[in-house]
Amino acid sequence: MKMFIATTFALFASSAFAQSPDTILVNGKIITVDAQSSTREAMAIRDGRIVALGSSAQMRKLAGPQSRVVDVQGRTVIPGLIDSHLHAIRAAQTFATEVNWIGAASLTDALSRLTEASHTMKPGAWLIVAGGWNVQQFKENRRPTQAELVAAAPNNPVYIQLGYGWAMLTPLAIKALNVTTAPDGSISGGQGTIIALFDKLPKPTFDQQVDGTKKFFRELNRLGITGVYDPGGNNLLPEDYQALFKVWRQGDMTVRVAYTLCGNVTGGEFEEIRNLVALMPQGFGDDMLRFGGLGERITAAMNNNNRPTDAEKAKYYEIVKWAAGRGMTLTMHWNNDASVGQLLDIFERVNTETPIGGLRWSIAHLNDASEASLRRMKALGIGWTVQDAMYFGGDGYVQQAGAAAARRVPPVETGKKIGVAIGGGTDAHRVASYNPFTSLQWFLDGKTVGGKAIRGPEETPGRLDALRFYTLGSAWFSFDEKKRGSLEVGKYADLAVLSKDYMAVPVDDVHTLESVLTMVGGKVVYASGPFAKLEQ
């Protein structure tokens, strides 16, 4: 290891660059996530990229008169986190105009957030909680009643959504939407019902969407996130990408986004997709915003359908074969192993005609993946994006599938052994919190939000592996693992200086971590506490 440091340092000193670094971080515990899993003390950054790593003394020697030297005072530094399955575009669009129950420990706290919003938003504004919470996170262990919502915000229409199965509306909201609810003010149903209901809600104005996008990215930066792979999703149409595009045009992106397109026109998806991507080749964009292919839904007929008909599969095959021919990436939502063969059969058939091995296709979710399915994925070069769905859903899963089955959900250690590319993430913000440290803690302890450990040690990764999934692992899905995801010479200086040591805090505390200094391409995008003055 000593030799390696010396070599890197010598290369820098001799060849390259007469110019001195813009920024030097010293006195850190830099978890590089390089191939040797090495830890370094200091780092030099120039023009957005890492130019050297080594000891603080070595890096200080590189400093010129213009170099900014940041003493991180022994703190842990990690590569910027990358969520490989975050519905960021959708979450961002409404972030400035929705109320957030993510992380609220009690219903009292959640209701007070409504009251607070009723004071800060315009009088009579809609108060919308669009998911991201569940009952077990509240110490009361129950949903709000309509009367409680009215008491919290008597003069606002209030809409509360729980996952994709239930929503509660106050009388003002029911009247405004002109919908029929159960006597208690709730609406229950399948995904389709709740998606259609959500579509009736007023949309934020374009300016509010742009504002929301910037605020959401900053919120992600606060949590150490510097990149996302966005899988499109429900309630997301082409016009919904425009706020993101404006933020990109303004040069205000603080999270690197790879975005995908879903088929939205039921039955007409092929034509729709062909039209949308006619002038948009795979990979089009730049390192802040890049077109990442199709997903997570290709056709409505194959979405959440465990028994697609031959005709539905033929239609799907036609689209993905076309995508393979164009060299496109795609990510596909699939929930259970029992039926994933329906999908893998199609992918295997396409692969015999047009090899997909280099295209970085992926399957999202598949929490109960069998070893056999993971081997089929590996053989096809298909990656697996893994989310902390069991954090909210684990108790239900135990009831449905039994404690023994839950011990291996999701089987990331098996996937790692087989060599499947694995990315970490959340699936936020409707069905999960976007907090990466909640997800990382769940990787490490397998506990549901109610505190019940359901996963066994045989499928529980170590801290470094979990971090690797969430950084370098996630970077793979947008072909970025040579540019970011680890802290190595030549890569982007995308990093987070953490409030506590991720490697050393008790596992129970991992979810309390946040960043105190986040950089994207060497630029400070979030800073707090002792580093606040670094943010211009």
Contact positions vs Zn ion (CB under 5 A): 296, 333
First to last CA, the chain: 37
- Residue closer to Zn ion (CB basis): 204 or 425: 425
- Nearest distance from C-beta of residue 87 to Zn ion, angstroms: 8
Q: Which pair of tokens denotes residue 246?
A: 């404006």
14 CB-near residues (< 8 Å, 6+ apart) = none
Sign of the torsion formed by the C-alpha atoms of 528, 425, 109 and 213:
positive
- Residue closer to Zn ion (CB basis): 222 or 333: 333
CA distance 382 to 234: 23
Q: Which amino acid is at 89?
A: I
**What angle is formed at CA 463 by the lines to CA 462 and CA 467, rounded to 5 degrees?**
120
Sign of the torsion formed by the C-alpha atoms of 336, 337, 339 and 342:
positive
- Nearest distance from C-beta of residue 191 to Zn ion, angstroms: 11
Cβ atoms 489, 52 nearer than 8 A: yes
Dihedrals phi, psi of 258, to nearest 5 degrees: -105, 125
531 CB-near residues (< 8 Å, 6+ apart) = 70, 497, 516, 517, 524
3-state secondary structure of 285: strand
- Nearest distance from C-beta of residue 232 to Zn ion, angstroms: 9
- Residue closer to Zn ion (CB basis): 333 or 429: 333
- Residue closer to Zn ion (CB basis): 56 or 303: 303
Q: Which amino acid is at 464?
A: L
- Residue closer to Zn ion (CB basis): 426 or 486: 426
Cβ atoms 259, 241 nearer than 8 A: yes
CB atoms within 10 A of CB 419: 11
Instruction: Identify the bridge partners of residue 453 per DSSP, sorted by sequence position.
Output: 447
Instruction: Put residue 469 in one of left, alpha, beta given phi > 0 → left and psi -120 to 50 → alpha.
Output: alpha
Q: Which pair of tokens denotes residue 328?
A: 């496109």
CA distances from 228 to 118, 124, 391, 458, 478 (A): 31, 34, 20, 28, 9
- Nearest distance from C-beta of residue 260 to Zn ion, angstroms: 11
Nearest residue to the partner Zn ion, using Cβ: 333
Element containing residue 245 per DSSP (H, E): helix 242-249
- Residue closer to Zn ion (CB basis): 21 or 394: 394
Q: Which pair of tokens denotes residue 393?
A: 């859903």
CA distances from 335 to 61, 347, 363, 397, 530 (A): 53, 16, 9, 12, 44
- Residue closer to Zn ion (CB basis): 49 or 333: 333
CA distance 2 to 478: 33
- Residue closer to Zn ion (CB basis): 29 or 430: 430
Q: Which amino acid is at 478?
A: S
- Nearest distance from C-beta of residue 304 to Zn ion, angstroms: 9
Q: Which pair of tokens denotes residue 287?
A: 């390192």
- Residue closer to Zn ion (CB basis): 133 or 164: 164
Cβ atoms 435, 442 nearer than 8 A: no
Q: Which pair of tokens denotes residue 501?
A: 């040591």
- Nearest distance from C-beta of residue 452 to Zn ion, angstroms: 24
Residue with tokens 């915000």: 153
- Nearest distance from C-beta of residue 365 to Zn ion, angstroms: 6
311: number of CA atoms within 13 Å, CB side? 2
CB atoms within 10 A of CB 278: 8
- Nearest distance from C-beta of residue 235 to Zn ion, angstroms: 13
- Residue closer to Zn ion (CB basis): 50 or 428: 428
- Nearest distance from C-beta of residue 322 to Zn ion, angstroms: 22
- Residue closer to Zn ion (CB basis): 118 or 331: 331
Radius of gyration of the chain (CA): 23
- Residue closer to Zn ion (CB basis): 113 or 333: 333
- Residue closer to Zn ion (CB basis): 155 or 306: 306
